[in-house]
Amino acid sequence: MFQEEVRVKTGGETDILDISDEVEEVVRKSGIKNGVVHVFVIGSTAAVTTMEYEPGLKEDLPGALERIAPKNIEYKHHLRWGDYNGHSHVRAAIVGPSLSVPVKDGRLVLGTWQQIILIELDVRARNRRVMVTVMGE
Amino acid sequence: MFQEEVRVKTGGETDILDISDEVEEVVRKSGIKNGVVHVFVIGSTAAVTTMEYEPGLKEDLPGALERIAPKNIEYKHHLRWGDYNGHSHVRAAIVGPSLSVPVKDGRLVLGTWQQIILIELDVRARNRRVMVTVMGE
Amino acid sequence: MFQEEVRVKTGGETDILDISDEVEEVVRKSGIKNGVVHVFVIGSTAAVTTMEYEPGLKEDLPGALERIAPKNIEYKHHLRWGDYNGHSHVRAAIVGPSLSVPVKDGRLVLGTWQQIILIELDVRARNRRVMVTVMGE
């Protein structure tokens, strides 16, 4: 078992970052050759999943999130904090903060056009903490 | 490795429970200090994810699930069982039954406003079984 | 820890396969009795989750995916590759490629009407590689 926190800076709402290299670097440091790496974004307005990381999809994915939880409708959440990010919370809960990826021969097992992405769902740029845990042998 | 089943009672359709304390209690019992805890709801009409647990979002999240799988449209699933919970199954498959959260120094690694939630998606109150597995050292 | 790749052949767009038996077979081979099995589909146009595997829901789930990411709207992704599967990528990113299921007494811990499913989201039949990793004791 090896655990390390990675920090990344997002560029604003629905910014999508490819964090595959950061995750693979933790796997390399761990010395673990075969097992699973768990990636978890701390906080309730960001999400982690996989996607082909290319500019078109970086616009298409937010389009779908807008259909699921439109930005400009009323959210009860706004009554509590007045920070107008109810849609951010809802989108984050549905996509989820947690992803596990297999590790084989010390490398991430991903498709050629499959990267680990962090999606900023909050309404502003944020510094994000991602906990990476490698388990195996 | 330590595994224990937790039981919770939901209050009806789209009830959302904060199960962070129950999960952290299993981590405490396990004696495992660093690793990952896996949370899995048994059954095909409930889901597990993270969210800020506050009353506003407990109404906002079901609103988004209604956009994804409206309750009052026709589902082919109804032809099989006649239990009129096709939307429950569809929502549960999309959000998912499985979540892993890092464990560090014997505590769950979560944001301040990030809780582990169980979402009841079935059309009635249910007793839910959640399998919690802690792995690490 | 035990890891094995499983190969399955899908039947075309939004085909849904029950891969529970394939996953349980890897658990059996592993000899691991208690822990977690991780299931990961390699590639960015397929997804893994759980669902009651019955013909009605095999039509209902694609209906919801069509609401999230309709097939016949414009995607920026198409400008890159011209393969017209932008909706496939978006749906796959939202449902996700990764699932973990508890293992107890050598068996998968699933509800009676809960199966592990692979969803083909690409626009054609594909051969899919699924990496299955069993961790525990």
Asked whether residue C28 is domain-assigned, the answer is: no
B117/A79 CB distance under 8 A: no
Backbone angles phi, psi at B80, to 5 degrees: -85, -50
- Reported ipTM: the value is 0.97
Q: Report the C-alpha gap between A107 and C50 in whole angstroms.
A: 27
The number of beta carbons lying within 10 Å of the beta carbon of residue A49 is: 26
Cβ pairs bridging A and C (under 8 Å): 108
pLDDT per residue over A108-127, tens digit each? 999 999 999 999 999 999 99
pTM listed for this prediction: 0.98
Helix ranges, chain A (H): 20-30, 55-68, 77-81, 86-95
Which of B86, B97, B100 lies closest to C60 in CB terms? B86
- Domain assignment of residue C14, yes or no: yes
Least confident among A75-84, B38-47, C109-118:
A75-84
Condensed to tens digits (0 to 9), the pLDDT of residues A2-31 reads: 999 999 999 999 999 999 999 999 999 999
Domain of B28 in residue numbering reads as: 2-136
- Please count the structural domains in chain C: 1
Q: Give B59→chain A minimum CA distance, Å.
A: 7
Burial tier of A98 (Cβ tally within 10 Å: 0-12, 13-18, 19+)? buried
User: Chain C contacts of A111, Cβ < 8 Å?
Assistant: 42-44
Question: Domain for residue C67, yes or no?
Answer: yes
Encoded tokens for A102:
């297999």
pLDDT, tens digit, 9 for 90 and up, residues A74-118: 999 998 888 899 999 999 999 999 999 999 999 999 999 999 999
What is the CATH number for A107? 2.60.120.460
Q: Is A70 touching C (CB cutoff 8 A)? A: no
- Which DSSP letter does residue B88 get? H
